[in-house]
Amino acid sequence: MLQRDYTTSQLDVLEAEAIHIMREVAAEFERPCLLFSGGKDSIVMLRLAEKAFWPAAIPFPLMHVDTGHNFKEVIEFRDRRSVELGARLIVASVQDSIDQGRVVEETGRRASRNRLQTTTLLDAIEEHEFDAVFGGARRDEEKARAKERVFSFRDDFGQWDPKNQRPELWSLYNARIRKGEHIRVFPLSNWTELDVWDYIRREGIEIPSIYFAHTRKVFERDGMLLPDSEVVQRGDDEPLFEAVVRYRTVGDMTCTGAVQSPAATVEEIIEEIAATRITERGATRADDRSSEAAMEDRKREGYF
């Protein structure tokens, strides 16, 4: 007699949960959008959105908060992928916020536009009247994100208050908001970095070349390898050298470090991540090497 295996894999469960969340948002909100930077987490979210609404088009626009200091490989991928999908891409520019006097650019060797993204993001949400914003944050990244709900309520100032978050029982989500408020939605909350890469392998998803091993000129600062770039200020005591590196996460060049790695395929990356004991953000993001209290403050300001 033919026996059938009805067991569901971990990736199938995570995929089904994320697709359910996306469909729930599409049904409950009037103007959702998906934050798409061209990084691996947002690429996975985009694939999930494709599956959630196939054969129809993705029913909401994509948005990227562009600091102007992003890696060109990632920006090229972002633009090409959005065209391939026929999706509307909104680019909210930090440079525009600086030019309009909304934010003041930092100066000095450690200057970064990363924190300035908050104002640009909130202005874009207000301008386009978005009431739900998909983000790729995962609870395994660091402690401030580990406390996050799937539906994260933000007040009319875009701020996060832990006392105003709603209970989430089973897969029931509270989508009620007043005008001016919005919800940040995190479909990948229960995923890990390893889950993301396993899904990329299973689905055969294309990702930017910067995630794979390549030779690049870098310099060391605080134990991190920062790229040689006109937007990254390097001191005389920080000599350049060539190294075989890859990026575990991508973002603003001024605060995103590379890791020395020979991993040139998805399979090799999965083996590498399975053996590491350092989180991707702890290893590669200078802006996340702050105290838990500092990260909480940034979250309350509306940073993510």
CATH class (in words) of the domain with range 10-195+293-301: alpha beta
- The residue count of the chain comes to 304
Answer with the residue of higher pLDDT: 201 or 281: 201
Q: What is the pLDDT of residues 78-102, one digit of tens each?
A: 999 999 999 999 999 999 999 999 9
pLDDT over threshold 70, residue 21: yes
Domain with CATH 3.40.50.620 in the chain: 10-195+293-301
Rounded (10°) angle between helices 40-53 and 10-28: 70
Q: What is the dihedral of CA 49, 52, 53, 55, to 10 degrees?
A: 100
The continuous run of DSSP H or E covering 132 comes out as strand 132-134
pLDDT reported for residue 6: 72
pLDDT over threshold 70, residue 287: no
pLDDT reported for residue 293: 53
Please say whether the dihedral angle defined by the alpha carbons of residues 114, 115, 120 and 124, taken in this order, is positive or negative. positive
- 51-65, 91-105, 206-220, 273-287: which range is least confident on average? 273-287
